[in-house]
Amino acid sequence: MSRPNNIGAGGFQKYIDKELAAMASEKIVAEKIFGYVGNAGFAIDAGTVLYENTLVNDNLVGYTSDVLVDLSMNYTTAITATTLGSQIGGAIGSVIPGAGTAIGIVIGAGIGAGIYFVTDVITINDRTIREHVKDSFDEVLGG
């Protein structure tokens, strides 16, 4: 943005500094809000995992191992999708400003969906990978 002719250099710089400070404070607020929303999502997911596993497990070892497997796989998927989506989106955004965020969201969602498909949809011997991991973990814990 170039300085208009009718505004002095010092006044224009103060205006730019004020606008940048306002943008920075808005960014901080947005980051906090998105952080709270993300944490709420993790809390809801954890509650769902705890509840769903009470419905299918009748012993403490089976319940504990299934909860640990579910939470570990869910959070690993979320962290992987978020990290890769934001990194790829950031790289694209450095070339195409503005589009990188949207593309990163789509890529992150695609990665998450792909991991879900591999771990929870594809079956091997009529069991998903998640179910095989749970079975193995149960064996290790003696459930």
Cβ neighbours of residue 87 closer than 8 Å, sequence gap 6 or more: 104
pLDDT at 134: 92
Is-above-0.75 flag for pTM? no
pLDDT at 1: 66
DSSP run (H or E) holding 72: helix 60-95
Q: What is the pLDDT of residues 44-94, one digit of tens each?
A: 989 999 999 899 888 888 888 899 999 999 999 989 998 898 888 888 888
* Lookup: tokens for 55: 């419905």
- Pairwise CA distance, residues 12 & 14, whole Å: 5
Q: What is the pLDDT of residues 114-128, one digit of tens each?
A: 999 999 999 999 999
